[in-house]
Amino acid sequence: MKHLLKMSNMTKEQIIKLLDIADQLKYDLKHGIEHKHLAGKSLGMIFQKSSTRTRVSFEVGMYQLGGQALFLSSRDLQIGRGEPIEDTARVLSRYLDGIMIRTYAQQEVDDLATYGSIPIINGLTDFAHPCQVLADLMTIREYKGSFEGLKMTYIGDGNNMANSLIVGGLLVGMRVSIACPLGYQPSDDIIKYASKYGDNFTLTDCVKTAVCGADVVITDVWASMGQEGEQDIRKKAFAGYQINNTLLSVANDGAMVLHCLPAHRGEEISAETLESHQTEIFDEAENRLHAQKAVLCMTMSDKFN
């Protein structure tokens, strides 16, 4: 796998291989078995937005794999003063073995891949959050054993998480149902992509219809990074789009609840539901580390290709 730019660039086989590697790395870490697959390699981590999980999981992941990670805030890079992404890509390719970038426009991530000569990993854009979705898929398989016959539901904003969950969920063979208010639906490209999957994909504005018979129920914040100014208007638009125990009563018995975090209790998820599903939600957060190590191995080490 050359880059990880968005989920639709992956095949089902690549996702399953990545999840198998992540599971093995998790098992081995817990049993004290080290793997220095990236010894001597350096990952640059460009952040134009805040992060807790992505930054720490990639930095610790690189260390555990025998390499090093450089935190590059866009405020300190010349990018912040207008140096073009094309030049940044070509320069950083001379020093680094890979770049993970968190930014606004997907085009910047795609441009880094076009102009650079090293693997590029999307650590979140306004359009996609593939690293998170790989950790989510890992968590779902860990709890449910396989993806066979599962229905995955996402409630809330048709944002980066929704876009990536739809593609990832469909690729591994789950049925995917989405409930978003009108005006806050996933990207047109994603809806077009999903329509190829026929009845396996449904999009509605009715939360109850979407959650009915679900095995996995997922949500995310109503206002993503960069949308802070829309918080009040979004709170009104998303009223009723909360995952809570009443809504979950129509899901299948033993349904999982996932949230990429950070969460806003009392908005997209009730405090009670978050706490009663904290085991899987914090396993999901932990799995960022194992899934990200698998992403690093598959993009930056020849041994995995």
Active-site residue, 215 included: no
| Interface region with ligand CP, contact rule CB under 6 A, candidates 25-33, 47-55, 177-185, 235-243 | 47-55
The catalytic position among 3, 37, 102, 141 is: 102
Q: Per the structure block, which two tokens stand in for 218?
A: 């997922």
Which residue among 93, 224, 270, 292 contacts ligand NVA (CB under 6 A)? 224
Shortest spacing between CB 265 and ligand NVA, in angstroms: 15
Catalytic residue among 37, 106, 220, 277: 220
> Does the protein bind ligand CP through residue 289 (CB under 6 A)?
no
- Of the pair 51, 202, the CB lying nearest ligand CP is at 51
Residues between 38 and 97 with contacts to ligand NVA, criterion CB under 6 A: none
Question: 3-state DSSP: the chain helix, strand, coil percent, rounded to 5?
Answer: 50, 15, 35
From candidates 48, 93, 132, 153, binder to ligand CP by CB under 6 A: 132
**157: annotated active-site residue:** no
Q: Is 102 a catalytic residue?
A: yes
Closest CA to 140 of 174, 171, 185: 174
Partner touching 52 among ligand CP, ligand NVA, none, CB below 5 to 8 Å by kind: ligand CP
Rounded to a whole number of angstroms, the distance between the first and last alpha carbons of the chain is 7
| Residue number with CB closer to ligand CP (90 or 264) | 264
Q: What whole-number distance in Å separates Cα of residue 89 and Cα of residue 114?
A: 9
SS3 state of residue 42 = strand
Is 107 known to be catalytic?
A: no
Cα–Cα distance measured from residue 258 to residue 142, given in angstroms and rounded to the nearest whole number: 13
| Selected range binding ligand NVA among 91-99, 159-167, 172-180, 248-256, rule: CB under 6 A | 159-167
Task: Out of 72, 161, 166, 298, name the contact with ligand NVA by CB under 6 A.
Answer: 161
53 contacts ligand CP (rule: CB under 6 A): yes
**x-or-dash pattern for ligand NVA, window 113-142, by CB under 6 A?**
-----------x------------------
**Closest of 285, 248, 249 to residue 269, by C-alpha:** 248
Decide: is 160 part of the binding site for ligand NVA (CB under 6 A): yes
CB of 37 to ligand NVA, least distance (A): 27
By C-beta, is 1 or 261 nearer to ligand CP? 261
Catalytic residue among 132, 136, 175, 290: 132
Cβ atoms of residues 124 and 92 within 8 Å: no
Does residue 260 carry a catalytic annotation? Answer: yes
Least distance to ligand CP from the beta carbon of 261, Å?
5
Query: b/e string for 176-206 if b means 16 or more Cβ within 10 A?
Result: bbbbbbeebbbbeebbebbeebeeebbbebe
Q: Are 105 and 160 in contact (CB under 8 A)?
A: no
How far apart CA 236 and CA 291 sit, in angstroms, is 35
> Across 90-158, where does the E strand assignment appear?
98-102, 120-122, 151-155
Return the SS3 of 145: coil
Among 60, 191, 212, 261, binds ligand CP (CB under 6 A): 261
d(CA 101, CA 121): 6
**Catalytic (active-site) positions:** 102, 129, 132, 220, 260, 288
Which residues of the chain form contacts with ligand NVA (CB under 6 A)? 124, 159-161, 220-221, 224-225, 260
